[in-house]
């Protein structure tokens, strides 16, 4: 099972999901969306973060100052690689994704249904939560027109399931930060990121297996860093950290902990529960959290994971992240925590310059 998933491509997996399980497949753009709702309707969300492509067609639609997450996402559509998808979902993450959504829906004429999800932006008010719930319900009724009725019991089951998975993801993070998970940086993220397209039936066993097999009682060796930014990309950065013995002990990545590590759910109503999950997620630039809040969150993580430094891996042209970084970096440095800011395209090969920076940073850690 484990091995099988390793070797199968995402494309094969999607086709199999459709043919074997009769599932519909939704292409989902970053970052926050109610996956429980989709899964309850037997729709498999396949997230589009970093397709392994080169920009070719997208530059006819997007300026050169648009980030590679957005341009490669569009590239995937333009190169006709989305034929297996039944629809798209665009969460309202940033200006570029917002306009990408509108280009796809209004201008491209690709005849694929597009759904949108607007999540309220902090600072949250009393009005935010009811609005979030109304958005969930509107998305649901929109989807029902294409995918058939959603049964409340299915939704409840799906919400519970996702909570179980989130608990195990949290456990992975906890063990890793305590140094009790024997895994490479690369392996950790390659397992975790399978959540972006695997069905819970496949993802959850993979995760629990990873948890059980990786448990160790030996102390952490070498230096530990906290990774912040959007994605753990390019993955060669992880490889290089592995190679020089630097362990990622925790993260503040948008695609990872910032979407998964929410608090426990107490509400039995599934919509209330989903809202509870959303509003208890860690501070995030794309949801409007105050910089102070994010800083305190990172500091807390640094203390609990005994990280020696912080690496910001920022996708070039990513506005939400680049506005936060100077204050975060400055404040961390004032606390005596070394900081490295790397700016790169998501699929860019590791340049000699980035290698040098990473190594010089590791030298600074002592």
Partner 1 sequence: MSIAPEIRYRFMKDIGAPLVMGMAGLKGKRKAAIKRDIPLGPPLKCSKRLKEIMTRHYFLSRYAEGARPVAWVTSGAPVELLRAFDFYTVYPENHGALCGAQKLGPELCSIAEGHGYNQDLCSYARIDIGVCLSGKTPVGRLPRPDILFASNNICQTVMYWYRVLAHHWKIPLMVFDTPFNFVSLDRSAITYMVRQFEEMIPELERISGRKFSEKKFKEVLRLGKSSAMAWGEVLATMKTVPSPMTIFDAFVHLAPIVSLRGLPVTLEYYNVLLSELKDRVSKGIGAIVNERKRLMWDNIAIWYKIRDFSRLFAERGMNFVTATYTNAWAETISYMDERNPMESLAKAYSLVILNNNLDHRLKLMERLIKEYQVDGLVIHSARSCKPYSVGQYDLKRLLMERLAVPSVVIEADITDFRAYSEEQTTTRLEAFFENIEDGG
Partner 2 sequence: MKGWVIGIDVGSLTTDAVIMDEDKRVLSFSIVDTGYNSTDAAREAMTVAAGRAGLELEDVSRLVATGYGRAAVPEANKRVTEIACHAAGAVYLFPDTEMVIDIGGQDSKVIKVGKDGRVQDFVMNDKCAAGTGRFLEVMSAKLKIPLDGMGDISISARGEAAISSVCTVFAESEVVSLVARNCPKEEIVKGIHRSVVNRVWAMTRQLRVSGGVTMTGGVAKNRGVVALMEERVGRRINVPDEPQIVGALGAALFALREK
Q: Which residues bind partner 1 (CB under 8 A)?
A: 60-63, 65-66, 90, 92, 94-96, 98-103, 105-108, 116, 118, 120-123, 125-128, 130-131, 134-135, 138, 285, 288, 290-292, 316-317, 319-320, 322-327, 329-330, 341, 343
**Minimum distance of partner 1 from residue 7's CB (angstroms):** 38
Residue 336 binding result from partner 1, partner 2, none, given CB thresholds of 5 to 8 Å by partner type: none
**Minimum distance of partner 1 from residue 103's CB (angstroms):** 5
The span from the first CA to the last CA of the chain, in angstroms, equals 42
Residue 363 binding result from partner 1, partner 2, none, given CB thresholds of 5 to 8 Å by partner type: partner 2
Place of tokens 């979030």: 132
Nearest CB to partner 1, comparing residues 96 and 183: 96
- At 87 the three-state DSSP class reads strand
- CA-CA distance, 268 to 106, in Å (whole number)? 39
- CA-CA distance, 170 to 15, in Å (whole number)? 30
User: Does 357 engage in binding with partner 2 (CB under 8 A)?
Assistant: yes
In the shown chain, the binding pattern of residues 335 to 354 toward partner 2, with x for contact by CB under 8 A and - for none, equals: ---xx--xx--------xx-
- 190 vs 8, 52, 187, 257, 300, CA distance in Å? 14, 15, 5, 14, 25
- 2 vs 13, 144, 175, 305, CA distance in Å? 13, 34, 21, 29
Residue 352 binding result from partner 2, partner 1, none, given CB thresholds of 5 to 8 Å by partner type: partner 2
- CA-CA distance, 199 to 17, in Å (whole number)? 9
**Minimum distance of partner 2 from residue 309's CB (angstroms):** 11
**Minimum distance of partner 2 from residue 32's CB (angstroms):** 29
- CA-CA distance, 175 to 231, in Å (whole number)? 21
User: Does 178 engage in binding with partner 2 (CB under 8 A)?
Assistant: no
Nearest CB to partner 1, comparing residues 7 and 107: 107
User: Does 364 engage in binding with partner 2 (CB under 8 A)?
Assistant: yes
**Minimum distance of partner 2 from residue 342's CB (angstroms):** 8
Place of tokens 């201008």: 107
- CA-CA distance, 320 to 30, in Å (whole number)? 13
CB burial of residue 104 (10 Å; 0-12, 13-18, 19+): buried
Report the interface residues with partner 2, using CB under 8 A: 333, 338-339, 342-343, 352-353, 356-357, 359-360, 363-364
């Amino acid at each position: 099972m484990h091995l099988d998933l390793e070797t199968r491509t995402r494309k094969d997996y999607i086709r199999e999901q459709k043919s074997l399980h009769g599932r519909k497949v939704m292409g989902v753009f970053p970052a926050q969306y109610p996956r429980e709702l989709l899964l309850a309707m037997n729709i498999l969300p396949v997230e589009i973060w970093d397709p392994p492509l080169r920009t070719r067609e997208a530059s006819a639609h997007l300026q050169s100052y648009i980030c590679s997450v957005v341009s490669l996402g569009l590239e995937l559509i333009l190169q006709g690689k989305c034929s297996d998808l039944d629809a798209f979902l665009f969460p309202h993450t940033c200006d570029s994704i917002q306009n990408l959504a509108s280009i796809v829906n209004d201008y491209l004429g690709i005849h694929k249904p597009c759904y949108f999800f607007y999540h309220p932006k902090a600072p949250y008010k009393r009005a935010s939560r009811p609005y979030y719930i109304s958005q969930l319900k509107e998305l649901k009724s929109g989807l029902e027109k294409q995918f058939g009725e959603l049964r409340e019991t299915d939704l409840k089951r799906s919400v519970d399931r996702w909570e179980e998975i989130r608990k195990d993801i949290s456990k992975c993070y906890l063990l890793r930060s305590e140094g009790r998970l024997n895994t490479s940086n690369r392996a950790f993220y390659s397992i975790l990121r399978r959540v972006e397209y695997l069905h819970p039936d496949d993802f959850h066993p993979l995760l629990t297996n990873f948890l059980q097999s990786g448990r160790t009682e030996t102390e952490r060796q070498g230096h530990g860093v906290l990774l912040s930014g959007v994605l753990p990309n390019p993955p060669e950065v992880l490889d290089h950290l592995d190679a020089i013995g630097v362990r990622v002990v925790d993260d503040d990545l948008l695609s990872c902990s910032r979407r998964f590590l929410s608090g426990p759910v107490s509400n039995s109503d599934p919509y209330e529960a989903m809202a509870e999950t959303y509003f208890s997620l860690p501070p995030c630039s794309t949801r409007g959290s105050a910089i102070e809040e994010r800083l305190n969150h990172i500091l807390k993580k640094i203390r609990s994971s005994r990280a020696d430094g912080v690496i910001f891996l920022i996708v070039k042209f990513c506005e939400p992240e680049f506005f936060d970084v100077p204050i975060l970096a400055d404040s961390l440095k004032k606390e005596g925590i070394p900081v490295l800011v790397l700016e790169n395209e998501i699929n860019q090969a590791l340049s000699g310059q980035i290698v040098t920076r990473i190594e010089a940073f590791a030298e600074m850690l002592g």
